[in-house]
């Protein structure tokens, strides 16, 4: 006996809808995890800035500016910290671009050292797989967020880190 069972259009749509609904919790968990990771990394950036000393020439009257490249996952989480004090200066978050004056540059990993990184700019690199790792490298390891510090890179930028921050780092070079 031959079966010619073919689902009707309504049955097919219902099946597809059920499959999509089954995926929603997994997608929601993934989105929340991404959001939580970005919020945690933003908190690290903020706290690292708290324990960094900038050159005396840095104007205390203007905000401490964190620059992040457009589309970087940390941008939205960093913007939630806007206005919080860092060494008596309010935190400002801007999109990186030509002519934007940054105190902290949050960079994606994998590229060379940006030419525009000058004196007084703290480079924090998110997940430096290879290439330039900045003065601070944010690293996910064993489902934990850790950071490495390159004191030579910080000194090249005229920056100093608190000994308390250095003790918390995974590696200090």
Indicate if the pLDDT at residue 42 is higher than 90: yes
Cα 145 to Cα 41: distance, rounded to the nearest angstrom: 8
The structure's pTM equals 0.77
- Nearest to 41, CA basis, from 173, 137, 167: 137
Q: What is the DSSP letter of 128?
A: -
| pLDDT at residue 24 in the model | 37
Max CA separation in the chain (angstroms)? 89
pLDDT, tens digit (0-9, with 9 covering 90-100), for 80-89: 999 999 988 9
pLDDT, tens digit (0-9, with 9 covering 90-100), for 103-152: 999 988 877 777 777 789 999 999 888 878 889 999 999 999 999 999 99
Domain boundary assignment for the chain:
32-172
| Backbone φ and ψ of 136, nearest 5° | -135, 135
So what's the architecture of 32-172 in CATH? 3-Layer(aba) Sandwich (3.40)
């Amino acid at each position: 006996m031959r079966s010619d069972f073919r689902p009707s259009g309504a049955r097919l749509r219902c099946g597809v809808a059920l499959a999509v609904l089954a995926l929603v919790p997994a997608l929601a968990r993934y989105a929340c995890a991404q959001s939580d990771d970005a919020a945690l990394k933003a908190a690290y950036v903020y706290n690292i800035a708290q324990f960094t000393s900038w050159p005396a020439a840095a104007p205390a009257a203007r905000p401490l500016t964190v620059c992040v490249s457009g589309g970087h996952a940390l941008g939205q989480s960093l913007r939630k910290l806007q206005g919080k004090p860092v060494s008596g200066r309010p935190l400002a978050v801007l999109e990186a671009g030509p002519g934007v004056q940054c105190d902290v540059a949050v960079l994606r990993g994998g590229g060379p050292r940006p030419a525009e990184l000058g004196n007084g700019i703290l480079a924090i690199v998110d997940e430096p797989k290879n290439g330039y790792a900045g003065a601070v490298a944010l690293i996910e390891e064993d489902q934990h967020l850790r950071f490495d510090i390159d004191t030579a890179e910080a000194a090249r930028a005229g920056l100093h880190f608190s000994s308390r921050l250095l003790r918390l780092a995974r590696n200090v070079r």
